[in-house]
């Protein structure tokens, strides 16, 4: 099995990067949709543009973000299992793992907020603007960890 993982390493790494890019695109965009939803969707359920926001948010989460998060985890774990790729004696894989877990928790929080907004109860646009910074901070930790390998 380890020989197969080593042979597939370039493919696994490529698919991991593609999955991460798709996931991050969604995780940056969904809170921005929430800002617009909170600030511009007067009238509540059954009105326009409220219903359009609900559809866009649900499709972004279900069709792009959820599959790309799952693929990110699958290919990331395959990379971890590939011999010689990760040395757990350094701090960087632990920092990256913590940030990826935090990103996953943020993803789940976004999913919960989507349900609240669809029901007509959500946070303020300002709150969603502030929360939109969370994935950027986590991305910085992840990228610096992987590139600098501290």
Q: From residue 119, give the alpha-carbon distance in Å to each of 29, 46, 113, 145.
A: 20, 11, 10, 39
Residue-wise pLDDT for 22-78, tens only, equals 999 999 999 999 999 999 887 777 788 899 999 999 999 999 999 999 999 999 999
CA 101 to chain centre: 10
Cβ-contact 39, 102 below 8 angstroms: no
Question: How many domains does the structure of the chain reveal?
Answer: 1
CA 130 to chain centre: 16
Query: What does the pLDDT average to over 71-93?
Result: 95
Residue-wise pLDDT for 109-131, tens only, equals 999 999 999 998 999 999 999 99
pTM metric for this prediction: 0.92
Q: Which of 52, 56, 6 is nearest to 26 (CA)?
A: 56
* Residue span of the structural domain in which 34 resides: 2-148
């Amino acid at each position: 099995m380890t020989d197969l993982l080593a042979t597939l390493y370039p493919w696994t790494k490529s698919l991991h990067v593609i999955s991460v890019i798709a996931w991050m695109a969604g995780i940056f965009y969904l809170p921005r949709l929430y800002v617009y939803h909170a600030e511009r969707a007067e009238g509540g359920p059954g009105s326009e543009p409220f219903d359009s926001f609900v559809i866009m948010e649900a499709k972004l989460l279900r069709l792009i973000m959820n599959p790309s998060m799952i693929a990110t985890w699958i290919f990331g774990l395959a990379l971890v299992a590939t011999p010689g790729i990760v040395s757990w004696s350094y701090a960087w894989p632990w920092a990256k793992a913590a940030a990826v877990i935090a990103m996953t928790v943020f993803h789940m929080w976004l999913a919960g907020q989507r349900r609240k907004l669809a029901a007509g109860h959500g946070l303020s646009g300002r709150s969603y603007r502030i929360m939109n910074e969370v994935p950027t901070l986590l991305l910085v930790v992840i990228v610096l960890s992987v590139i600098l390998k501290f």
